[in-house]
Structure 1
Amino acid sequence: METIKTQGIEVPRLGLGTFKMQGKDCHEAVLSALGMGYRHIDTAEMYANEDAVGDALQDSDVPRDQIHLTTKVWWQNLAPDAIRKAFDQSRRKLKTDYVDFYLIHWPAPDMNLGAALETLLRIKDEGGARAIGVCNFPVALLQQAVEEIGAPIACNQVEYHVLLGQAKLLAYMQEKCIPLTAYAPLAQGRLASFPELQQIAEKHGATAAQIALAWLLEQDCVMAIPKARSEASQKSNLDALKVRLDQDDRAMIAKLPKDQRFVNPGFAPQWDEG
């Protein structure tokens, strides 16, 4: 598994997302993924599955220090005291002394970003998290965190796939050596309806999903965390690492629509175009 180094930490480029997985389903999916070779597990306070993830980490034969574990604090809990409370609950549910990444899940419209990041940094300094970061931050907010506040941001997790361009954000993040972690990297199952992707997939003896993942993972500074419940889906996603796209493939993917955003709640920030 290839890794990306950020804030001194080597992070596997392909991880397992667990959004909408709960209970026994989540526990079994995480155990299966770890058994197959995944070493990057992504969860969040809001997913209500940290206890299942924690049980799987305990039940797995893989040592904790070989697993990259990310969790996130919900946007309604960004006051310093609320972050502390949320983090303590997350760590208890995950049954671990520390998480590898602790992230702000969404920016809040009225947040004090400096105070929130300072609290995350204190958690890091106390050994509760190896690194801190953010999710769903457009360029202006990321600039505020990195340039004005000077926070050591280890990643920015955003929706990114072959149908949604993130050129402006990715260029800024590459310049600052901050990895982009792509969530919903398979466009929430919508890829099969694009004949261009099917054509590329047939050429490589792959699936449309594998082509989409390969496209993301060949980019500088990009990681991906597709959700996958079944062993078959988890293995298929791992096999995407073997796909090598050529210039014709990339040109065809470049012509796909790049304005298809599927995660856009009412509290979302003002997104960048492209």
Structure 2
Amino acid sequence: MQTVSAHGATIPALGFGVFRMSDEEVERVVPAALEAGFRHFDTAQIYQNEAALGRALHAAGARRDDLFLTTKVWIGNYRPEKFAASVDESLDELKVDQVDLLLLHWPAHEVPVAAQVEMLNAVQEAGKAKFVGVSNQNIAQMRESIERSRAPVVTNQVELHPYLPQQALVAAARDSGVAVTAYYGMADGAVPKDPVLQRIGARYGKSAAQVGLRWLVQQGHIALSKTAKPERVKENIAIFDFTLDEADMAAIARLARPDGRLVSPPGLAPEWDI
């Protein structure tokens, strides 16, 4: 599979995310994801399915060295007495000694970014995370994290899809050597139904969803795909056998819109750049 490199990390360009999936769904679909070729799995403490992912990977006999595991620390654990303990719990549930990538899930507001980064660095230095990164940070917060962090910030995981291409943040990340990880790539179901993406896909024998994922990885982003249906997994990963041309990319670029953002929870979200 294609990979993205950032500050020494080599990350599979297509990951399998388990946001809003029950334990039963995770344990049913992960074996199919492994069989299809997925090795990058993305979860979070707040998803409450780290243990299910750990069980599924263990039961399937996945080799730890073959996997790239990402999890995220929830804002309720942004305190010195809770941060490291919460990571220990995540490791126990995932049945590993170390995650490949540990992220700060949201910037929040009560704990300064500098303090969040210090706690993140401490658990990385303790060997609990190979690499560290951030999620849902705006440009200023990302730059502060980069400046404050002793370990390189390898990614900023943000909402990114054809209706919200995040050009300013992407440019700032690239200037700093930070990879962008795109979540909500299907825009909550809008991408698979988009007539422009459907027309493009028809020319390649691909679905609109595959076009959306291909658009992400073709720009050099890491894309998180998701399905709870084992029969759909193979479709999600079958995006590396075609290339969108310049006209396709231009047509998709025109889908961007000012109200494209879908995820902005009060109390968690920062002041966005756009």
- Which residue in the other structure is 1:229 paired with? 228
Aligned-residue offset at 1:72 = 0.6
- Which residue in the other structure is 1:269 paired with? 270
Give the secondary-structure state (helix, strand or coil) at the position aligned to 2:239: helix
Aligned-residue offset at 1:71 = 0.5
- Which residue in the other structure is 2:195 paired with? 195
Cα contact 2:28–2:230 (8 A) shared by 1: no
Cα contact 1:124–1:131 (8 A) shared by 2: yes
Cα contact 1:83–1:116 (8 A) shared by 2: no
- 2:145 is the counterpart of 1:134: no
Aligned positions, number: 272
**Which range moves more in the overlay, 7-16 or 109-118?**
109-118
Question: Could you list the per-position Cα deviations for residues 204-247 of structure 1 after superposition, in whole angstroms to 9, with x for gaps in the alignment?
Answer: 11111111111110013x10111112223211111122221011
- Which residue in the other structure is 2:109 paired with? 109
- 2:77 is the counterpart of 1:77: yes
Q: Distance in 1 between matches of 2:126 and 2:33?
A: 30
Cα contact 1:45–1:72 (8 A) shared by 2: yes
Give the secondary-structure state (helix, strand or coil) at the position aligned to 2:225: coil
Measured on the aligned residues, the alpha-carbon RMSD in Å equals: 1.4
Cα contact 1:79–1:112 (8 A) shared by 2: no
- Which residue in the other structure is 1:35 paired with? 35
Give the secondary-structure state (helix, strand or coil) at the position aligned to 1:61: coil
- 2:173 is the counterpart of 1:173: yes
Cα distance, 1:149–1:41 mapped onto 2, change above 3 Å: closer
- Which residue in the other structure is 2:53 paired with? 53
Give the secondary-structure state (helix, strand or coil) at the position aligned to 1:225: strand
Cα contact 1:68–1:100 (8 A) shared by 2: yes
Give the secondary-structure state (helix, strand or coil) at the position aligned to 1:190: helix
Give the secondary-structure state (helix, strand or coil) at the position aligned to 2:26: helix
**Which range moves more in the overlay, 148-157 or 179-188?**
148-157
Q: Distance in 2 between matches of 1:85 and 1:76?
A: 12
Letter matched to residue 254 of structure 1? A
- Which residue in the other structure is 1:240 paired with? 239
Cα contact 1:104–1:133 (8 A) shared by 2: yes
Cα distance, 1:243–1:255 mapped onto 2, change above 3 Å: same
4+ aligned runs moved over 3 Å, structure 1: 148-151
TM-score by length of 1: 0.95
Aligned-residue offset at 1:199 = 1.1
Cα contact 1:192–1:198 (8 A) shared by 2: yes
Cα contact 2:186–2:192 (8 A) shared by 1: no
Aligned-residue offset at 1:264 = 1.2
Unaligned runs of 5+ in 1: none
Cα contact 2:193–2:208 (8 A) shared by 1: no
**Which range moves more in the overlay, 5-14 or 165-174?**
5-14
